[in-house]
Amino acid sequence: MARDEQLKERWDAVVDKLSNQFADGDTLDLDSIIYLIGVQELGQIHRDYKKDHKLDLMHIAICKLLEPYGFYEFDYVDEDGWPHYKVKEQLPFLKAGEQSVLMKEAIVNYFVETDYIK
């Protein structure tokens, strides 16, 4: 199976499974999935978040997702339990479609590594 086909199949599996689990079957978009990963990584699941914290959660997720690619490195957890990352390498300029593919690939890898999907 071609790499792109496998990515699409796995991405669809992630979207379907998360949408059924967290959105009553409504299809979650990329940003919603990134947000869910941020909540998971923070570990404070049963809590309401204000808009600025939602952006912080997405930042945590992006750092975690791009850590295996060498762009970020986990640094520490602060006194409130929020993880912090440091930049190891600046992200290259990517077109919108390229950014989307990179994030989908990173998300699929995240959920494969956590055995959420096969």
> What DSSP assignment string belongs to 18-67?
HHHHHSTTPPP-HHHHHHHHHHHHHT--S----HHHHHHHHHHHHHHHHG
Per-residue pLDDT 10s for the chain (118 aa) are 677 899 999 999 999 999 999 998 799 999 999 999 999 999 887 778 888 889 999 999 999 999 999 999 999 999 989 999 999 999 889 998 899 999 999 999 999 999 998 8
- What is the Cα–Cα distance from 25 to 36, expressed in whole angstroms? 15
* Structural domain boundaries, residue 33: 3-113
DSSP state of 92: P
Residue at 118 is within a domain: no
Which residue type sits at 44? Q
Q: What's the structural domain count of the chain?
A: 1
> What integer pLDDT is reported at residue 51 of this predicted model?
82
pTM of the model: 0.90
